[in-house]
Structure 1
Amino acid sequence: MTEEEFELLDELYFVQGYGYLKEELGWDDEKLLITLQELFEKGYIKCLTHPDKELFDQINIEAKGASYFYLATKKGLMHHNTRS
């Protein structure tokens, strides 16, 4: 897990919108979207269209990532918490 992935997962113990993540981390859009995509591909996060509506198909973080909400998965939390 990269340092960026670790920092981002640290913010996703609860559902968070893209705007919150961008403001809290202070990253540019490219860095944030790439890191979200990497975490999603590893199964460490899930994407939501609303705080309580998970998105299961047609997930395009590069094009629509700024409109999604994000939450760490159990797998992501386990890796985050066991990082040495």
Structure 2
Amino acid sequence: MTDQEFDVLDELYFVIPFEELLEAVDMEEAELYSILKELLKKKWVKCYRDHSEELLPHEVEIDHQYKEYSYLATKIGLLAHNGR
């Protein structure tokens, strides 16, 4: 786990919209997008259309809609984060 992945997961104990996450981690948008994409591949985060509607993995269009999603760490992601 990279330091940047750790910092992002640190903010994802609760569902958070992309814009709020961007402010919280103090990164460039492109960097955060790249990290979220990698965390999705690892199944360490999941996406929400809003705070209550979880998207299934095949429904996520991270390349086009990442700004519209909210994010939450998965159980696997939290275990990886806490095990570091």
The one-letter code sitting in structure 1 at the alignment partner of 2:27 is: W
Q: CA-atom RMSD, angstroms?
A: 0.8
CA drift at 1:62: 2.1
Tell me, yes or no, if structure 1 residue 8 matches structure 2 residue 47: no
Helix, strand or coil: the match of 1:36? Answer: helix
Q: Do the aligned residues in 2 keep the contact of 1:44 with 1:73 (CA within 8 Å)?
A: yes
Contiguous gaps of at least 5 residues in structure 1: none
Q: Distance in 1 between matches of 2:62 and 2:3?
A: 20
Q: What code does the residue aligned with 1:29 have? A: E
TM-score (norm 2): 0.94
What TM-score does the superposition give when structure 1 sets the normalisation length? 0.94
Rounded Cα–Cα distance in structure 1 between residues aligned with 2:11 and 2:40? 15
Corresponding residue SS for 1:63:
helix
Q: Is the 8 A contact 1:34 1:62 kept in 2?
A: no
Runs of 4+ in structure 1 displaced over 4 angstroms?
none
For 1:45-56, list aligned pairs within 5 A.
Answer: 45-56=45-56
Deviations 1:3-42 (A, max 9, x none): 1100000000000000101111121111010000000100
Give distance in 2, aligned partners of 1:24 and 1:72: 15
Between 56-65 and 38-47, report the one with greater CA deviation. 56-65
Gaps of 5+ in 2: none
Give the percent of matched residue pairs that are identical in Structure 1 and Structure 2: 41
